[in-house]
Homo-oligomer: A and B are copies of this chain.
Amino acid sequence: MARLVAERADTLPVLAEVFREHGFDGASLSVITERTGLGKGSLYHFFPGGKEEMAEAVLGEISAWFEAEVFAPLDTALDPETGIRRMFEAVDAYFHSGKRICLAGAFALNDTRDRFADAVCAYFERWAASIATALAKAGATTHRAEALAEETLISIQGALILARAMNDPLVFSRTLHRLQTDVLAAATSATP
């Protein structure tokens, strides 16, 4: 059987999933060694700072993914509508249509936030700013663009919670659909 983990970067998706499932405190090194297939020796070789450095690296990886797949397209798409459609597609795929949670959101809810406050805050601020940029480009007022961007992120995060709480991923799917309709309506109706 082929090796699953060959280098540090290969561990990050696995670590991300472990932190998602168990939270920062619940993600013990024994779970991490089991899931990555790496011994503690290798883990501490890759992440001398231990669990905290692992989570930091995971958050960085997530930010980089969203930057490339969501934020940059929103900022640079020739027409905002394309960027917005692409965002909702990427978000649906990323959160596995409601079966996967947002790590930054989960970390935010308890004292784990304090360890990673900068990364968590930057993630949401960047996301909100890129949605607002696209809406403003479509002709919305700054105030309206920022408000709708915030409402969109709130609904995405809330839908992820409710989908898991009620064990019904459809809560997420229909929320995303509604949001896309609303945001696109704001983007097109505001077009000069």
Which residues of A line the B interface, CB within 8 A?
A: 20-26, 101, 104-106, 108-113, 117, 120-121, 123-125, 150-151, 153-162, 164-167, 171, 175, 178
Contact = CB atoms under 8 A, between A and B. Distances in A.
A20 B162 contact: no
| Dominant SS among interface residues on chain A | helix
B110 A21 contact: yes
A124 B158 contact: no
Of A110, A120, A121, A157, which is in contact with the most chain B CB atoms at under 10 Å from its CB? Answer: A110
Of listed A24, A108, A178, residue having the most chain B CB within 10 A: A108
Given A109-B106, A110-B23, A150 B165 contact: no
Given A22-B110, A154-B175, A155-B155, 19 more contacts: A21-B111, A23-B111, A105-B109, A105-B161, A108-B161, A108-B164, A108-B165, A113-B164, A117-B167, A124-B166, A125-B166, A151-B175, A154-B154, A154-B171, A155-B158, A157-B157, A157-B158, A157-B161, A158-B158
